[in-house]
A and B are shown apart, each in its own frame.
Chain A
Amino acid sequence: MTEDPSVTKPAELSCPICTEVVYAGEDFCEACGHRLNEDAPSPPPEGFSPPPREGLTMKTTPSARTAGHEAASSRACTGCGQKAIDADGYCEHCGLRQPAERDHIEIELPGPGTGPGGDGAAKAPAAAGASDRGKRYSRNEDAIALAVHAQGVAAVVCDGVGSSPHPDDASRAAADTGVAELVALLEAGEDPESATRAAALRAAEAVAALAPSPSESPSCTYVSAVTGPGSVTVGWIGDSRAYWLSPSPDGGAATEAGTESGGGGEGDDGPDTAEFALSEDTEDVTELGPPRQLTDDDSWAAIMVAQGALTEAEAEAHPNAHVITAWLGADADEIRPHVRTFTPGGPGTLLVCSDGLWNYFPAAEDLAALLTGPAGDPAGDPLGTARTLVQHALNAGGRDNVTVAVIPFPGAAPLPTPSTEHDR
């Protein structure tokens, strides 16, 4: 069957507590044990519209699906489980304020051939992302968007600039515009680097358009990643980052023997700390081996380190460490996205994240080390990996919004055709 894997058809039934897929007739959620509705599980609430484009599957928290008030009574409290959420978003039983749509978001991008009602042998998802408000901020000003394109995956993570008005709107606009443009340009035959640059500029325009006046400019950072056959292209403005994480040579992570040139390129190319492309794009293509950071922050700290004025540790401890020198917004200087393309020498994971994660784990090796253990299967369960990384940041303090996108590389074979979104 060439069932369309997108979710434009009615959504699967899911557990109101943990969102795990459940089936009619089950009394308890297999994942979290929550007692399911005695009646037939409720259909997707009104107001839950399918994602705007195929392949862009939003797998969000239960509350996120029911942001509309009309569906309020069908929600279950994330604290006590009672279905008594009032129109203001508080539980009428225990008083807990329910997470806002963006407080905790999880996205899973289905791999080719995955689909509800399929033969059950679902293939691994193409990518996944998770975003969390953290423990200190009252709202999540990060945004994430993921989509598949004909040749691979496109991901954008944006972090609203806290000192600007409505930074959450800025990041949302930038991420949505960025991914939509990336996919459109790539599928129009644009090469990944020019698509990355053009998409970033379009995202910048979208953010600048939000400003009601020059003195009120919603602003955000921007980082995009595009995978294609044998290559990875990243683009950024600000201090959100992309990393390449690969299994350590002595094993530990899942192996994917048989695909491409397994294990090759090890030791080829260490983290290139001398390479600080603060204003110029690097046009050379670098081969990827061990874990490394792929982006260089547009930040005061990065400039200090690049100039040799401060060590990395000194810069990070400085009060100015989080001052960024480039951003999207009506008050920004000319937007000049940095773009780089890499050639992975073997399988690995592309991680795109906001500073809510890398503040705690700035080194690529440390991030890679987090992928051992139960969440050590980014290729098979990218959402599990994304969740785990977010949880590590929360456990470490969660002082900022945390957002991660996890894109396994090389990933499953690309979709045969990207335009199968038709009801039959």
Chain B
Amino acid sequence: MSEKEVLLKVEDLKVAYGSIEAVRGISFEVNKGEVVTILGANGAGKTTTLRTISGLLKAKAGSIRYKNLELTSLPAHEIVALGISQSPEGRRVFGTLTVEENLKLGAYTKKTYNNATLSWMYELFPRLSERKSQLAGTLSGGEQQMLAIGRALMSEPEMLLLDEPSLGLAPVLVKTIFDTIKQIKQSGVTVLLVEQNAKAALKLADKGYVLEVGKMVMKGDSKTLLESPQIQEAYLGKKK
């Protein structure tokens, strides 16, 4: 294997809402081509971290470097243009726009959307292809999640941020979504996955981090984390 190239490097990141610090100095790295997962309970600061990487929140301190570019001072729309896109928590699809309009908006930073990418999305998510001209708000939760991921991929990102893609979905759909993430990885896109479903996320990821009330408490390759007693107890529901 060749030397691993660091795509995203977060160092000592602090983010606060007013006086409440939600992220208290975390550091992590994502290598090119990997799937990296950040695990943690509600309120651990996972979504805050992703929103800060995307530029929706301003960091209080620390740095986020993407290919040696500092992201913390850039507005959100420029970060997308650099090659980082996000499928946000709660999907946030544009409900009164059609499925196809949602997908095309994903490629907003491009002069025109790439037809091949659009076809790939319909291949990845055949359900969306059947519902092209339907309003996104009328889709089921699972379909909206597919749309949110597809929309984020339309910008042909080098790095995809996924915020709890399995949240609130039926088990069979959770499997579909994770299978899709695997396919996305195989296509060469680097994935930073935030999840509560620790087992599924670790099975898919190369390495993982565990976030607890704004601090990184564990890190390691997925296999080690899966077997770690703390993780098994806290996130996988197994008793000691």
A interacts with B: no
Binding site for B on A (CB under 8 A): none
Interface residues of B (CB under 8 A from A): none
